Structure 1
Amino acid sequence: MQPKAFIDLTKSQARNIILNAAGLAHHGQFGTGIEAVYKVIDHLGFVQLDTNYVVERAHHHVMAARIPDYRTEWLAELVEDGRIFEYFTSDAGFIPMNDFHYSLPVKAAFKAQIKTPDRQQLRVMQQIMDRVEREGQLMLGDIENDRVEASNGWWDWRPAKVALERLYLQGDLVVSRNKSFHKVYDLPPAMDQTIPTPDEYAHYVIRRTLGALGISSVKEINWRARRVKNNLVKPVLQSMVETGEVQVVVVDDIKGPLYMLPDQQIKPLAGEVFILSPFDILNVFRHRLKQFFDFDYQIECFVPADKRQYGYFSLPILAGDKFIARMDAKADRKKQILIVHNIHFEAVDIDQTTLAKLADAIKAFVLFNNCNDVVFTRSNSQLFLDQLLAAM
């Protein structure tokens, strides 16, 4: 089969494809209810999980941005029903159970790359496996403190914690979460344990990444396979281009090569406002936001306090196909108040209709965080803030 000629796109057309692929063309793009949660994960292939609890955790935030009636217990229900599972591929996240087979190369890579355990570690690992096989699910707190010396820091784990994480990463155990978000370890489900060939794994990563990102460079595709050293993403991608399974894309003023699946379409955007998690699929690649959306974004919780420009945990705010603001927020759960330490409006045109939609989005975000009110502390535009408050 001869490959199709490359496709020329404007930045506007490229943004449209990216947002449709991300599920951010309009609210409820995947429907409502728990089935919509599964559809989001099945479409994106991976929804990043994060422990930061300044506002509601990232994996719930991703869902709430896309599913109008989202309830946080639905993710746990899907795990319990065996439809999704948690694993650490590129990062920790939720994956559809149909893709379990493709987590095996990552588990094999972890097993090969982690330093060979010494006798004591092997003994602890075997004791844990014996206990899980006898008793079922196990948490770190269920194991007697086996630390010999006092901890010297955050990453100085107990031997039992090291053993549990190793068993999890190499696939001997799986994890779920309890209501306090603590890990619960268990035996893996009865699944085919045949590891995909390197070619099959590369095909999977390419299709999954392009399906979720819409348009991507090989750099972002490789990110999803980064745990598997010497993977075949680059040669397989080239082969898929030659057979027409992947389309080469040229976008105005953006360095290529870029790729997309042939069935991606330009569909209308509803112009709605989304308050997004920093760990949303749209935001995880900083260079990509700059290239396609002219939005220079960095999550600043990893930046020293004296060097932060916008705040500890500023949330990107998208309207249609442009970012209009970023909002540094914190949920005071005792007082049930969402505190907006800073809402910074970008240097773009923001009309009254968009401000009204932003007001609605903030009100929904307040409720999503189990708060009853919102307080704004600072903004770079008093005019926009006044208009926003009036709309609310």
Structure 2
Amino acid sequence: MSAELNIAEIRKRAVAASLMAPTTLARAIAALGFVQADPIRSPARAQDLILRQRVANYRAGDLERRFAKLGLEEDFLYAYGFMPREVSRLLHPRPDPKGGPHRPTGLAADVLAFVHERGIVHPQDLLDQFGKERAVNGWGGFSKATTRALHSLHFYGLLRVARRRDGIRIYEAASRHEDVQAQAIEPAERLRRLLLLVTGILAPLPQRSLRPTLALLTRGAPGLTGMPAAVQRLLRSGELESGAVEGETYLWPAVANPAARNSVGRKLRFLAPFDPIVWDRRRFEHLWGWDYRFEAYTPGEKRRFGYYAMPLLFGDKVIGWANLAMNKGRLQVETGFAGTKPKGRDFARAFDAEMARMEAFLPRGGD
């Protein structure tokens, strides 16, 4: 099904697709399906900044504290993050590069045996046991060989993250691995569910963003092939819909119009750089008319927005950005605007309210 929409309608859909009335942590993660993780804490980690917009009375670190009780998994979808267990199951089994079942050898096999023996393992335990040999990592730099082994075993479903301690992943053997291998969902159905999930998380998604997004998803589900053809089947069946807006075609799952059931209002929000609302940079520029960039890894002298510039959502428009930092226990903010800074009490009150929410969300003393 194809529809003709205007830019205002697409903006409303983009914001309403993932913003919900504040709910419980479990319900928010179930509704989102995936929460991207990032280790930078400025002033909090990305996963916490994403969840604070959707969970009632959320505090920084709540996800880490409640992870084990919620029955969640950490895994790679189109990025690394947190997800319900049923979503992680769609990503497995992952074949090795030759297409067969992954069978660890060498250090990885030794690490797996060690984890089975110990039960719960901190990365430091492996350094004490196996030493600090270095290996080339996926970024072309160096990581500890044991860390590489942990990441590989986790990726192939042989280990899982049991919990985190101060942001560090603590691993255990994935007892569910054999069950996943034996009772795996048919590949075509896994692919269908994953495509609907990802297009739902990022809805409405520009068609021209689809290819790079599917390339990332292929990393998370390397055994699933034929993604572009599967998207076309979903469009023909009506499970995916599309609409053209000012030269850009958008895709979204065929569900009730989220803009009709969620009213965003005039509330102002500081969004995480990886929030679903702003994740796709092509859509960002098309909907809001300016070019936002995440610059934490950009040399300071070349930054336009700041180290950890958080998009500033006002109503259904992203109008600028904010850099927040704790200094001697006080939250400080520097803002910038794509156009003219809004005037009047409406914006000032909304800004002050968001600052108050952020202060309540952060640990006391800014730790």
TM-score w.r.t. the length of structure 1 is 0.81
How far apart in 2 are the matches of 1:185 and 1:86? 11
Give SS of 1:69's match.
Answer: coil
Contact 1:22–1:281, Cα closer than 8 Å, also in 2: yes
Q: What is the CA–CA distance in structure 2 between the aligned matches of 1:312 and 1:296, rounded to whole Å?
A: 16
Specify the alignment match of 2:107 in structure 1: 124
> What is the root-mean-square deviation in Å for CA atoms of aligned residues?
2.9
Provide the secondary structure at the position in 1 that maps to 2:249: coil
Does the residue aligned with 2:313 lie in a helix, a strand or coil?
A: strand
Q: CA deviation digits over 1:138-170, x for unaligned, max 9?
A: 111012252357999994222222211111111
Q: Partner residue of 2:294?
A: 299
> Which deviates more, 306-315 or 140-149?
140-149
CA 1:303–1:134: 2 relative to 1, 3 Å: same
Matched, 1:321 2:313: no
Is the contact made by 1:207 and 1:261 (CA closer than 8 Å) also made in structure 2? no
User: 1:356-378 CA distances to partner (integer Å, 9 max, x unpaired)?
Assistant: 111110122123223579xxxxx
Question: Which of 109, 121, 124 pairs up with 1:141?
Answer: 124
2:214 maps to 1:222: yes
How many residues align? The count is 351
Corresponding position: 1:197 with 2:186: yes
Which residue of the other structure, out of 354, 361, 366, is the alignment partner of 1:368?
A: 361
Q: Supply the distance in 2 between the matched residues of 1:59 and 1:130 (Cα, whole angstroms).
A: 31
From 64, 87, 90, the counterpart of 2:52: 64
- Render the CA deviation track for 1:287-306: whole Å, top value 9, x for unaligned: 11001222321111121211
Does 2:276 match 1:281? yes
Amino acid of the structure 2 residue aligned with 1:336 = G
Q: Aligned pair in 2 of structure 1 residues 258, 78: CA closer, same or farther (>3 Å)?
A: same
Q: Which residue of 1 aligns with 2:92?
A: 104
- One-letter identity of the residue aligned with 1:236: A
For 1:170 and 1:42, how far apart are their aligned partners in 2?
23
Following superposition, the deviation at residue 231 of structure 1 comes to 2.5
Give the superposition deviation at 1:277: 0.7
Does 2:169 align with 1:169? no
Greater displacement, 361-370 / 193-202:
193-202
Cα distance change, pair 148–68 in 1 and its aligned pair in 2 (3 A):
closer
Give per-residue Cα distances to partners, 1:210-239, cap 9 Å, x unaligned.
322231134345255231457222112211
- Separation in 2 of the partners of 1:257 and 1:20? 15
Distance (Å, rounded) in 1 between the aligned partners of 2:281 and 2:135: 39
Cα distance, 1:185 vs structure 2: 1.0
Gaps of 5+ in 1: 374-392
- Equivalent residues of 1:317, 1:324 under 8 A apart: yes
Q: Partner of 1:256 in structure 2?
A: 249
In 1, the alpha carbon distance for the partners of 2:184 and 2:136 equals 38
For residues 149 and 360 of structure 1, what CA distance do their matches in structure 2 show?
Answer: 48
Work out the CA distance in 2 between the residues paired with 1:141 and 1:156: 17
Give 1:73 deviation, angstroms: 4.7
Cα pair 1:331 1:369 within 8 Å, conserved: no
Out of 323, 326, 331, the position equivalent to 1:331 is 326
**Is the contact between residue 87 and residue 95 of structure 1 (CA under 8 Å) also seen in structure 2?**
yes
Aligned counterpart, 2:285: 290
Show the counterpart of 1:87: 75
The answer as to whether partners of 1:273 and 1:317 remain within 8 angstroms in 2 is yes
The percentage of counterpart residues that share the same residue type is: 20
Amino acid at match of 2:256: D
Q: Decide whether the 8 Å contact of 1:337 with 1:371 is kept in 2.
A: no
Secondary structure at the residue paired with 1:298? coil
Give the superposition deviation at 1:254: 3.6
1:309 partnered with 2:304: yes
Provide closer, same or farther for how the CA distance between residues 75 and 364 of structure 1 changes in structure 2, counting only shifts above 3 A.
same
Moved more, 71-80 or 357-366: 71-80
**2:32 & 2:136 partners in 1: Cα distance?**
39
Q: Quote the residue 1:37 is aligned against.
A: 25
1:346 aligns with 2:338: yes
Q: 2:63 aligns with which of 50, 75, 86?
A: 75
Q: Distance in 2 between matches of 1:58 and 1:84?
A: 17
Contact 2:108 2:149 in 1 (8 A): yes
Does the Cα contact within 8 Å between 2:60 and 2:361 map onto a contact in 1?
A: no
Match of 1:178 among 140, 143, 164: 164
Aligned partners of 2:66 and 2:226: how far apart in 1? 32
Paired with 2:125 and 2:45, the residues of 1 have a C-alpha distance of: 25
Rounded to whole Å, the distance in 2 between the matches of 1:101 and 1:151 is 29
Given candidates 8, 13, 17, the residue that maps to 1:17 is 13
Residue pair 1:366, 1:372 contacting (<8 A) in 2 also:
no
- Higher mean C-alpha displacement, 144-153 vs 69-78: 144-153
State how far apart, in whole Å, the 2-side matches of 1:243 and 1:236 are. 11
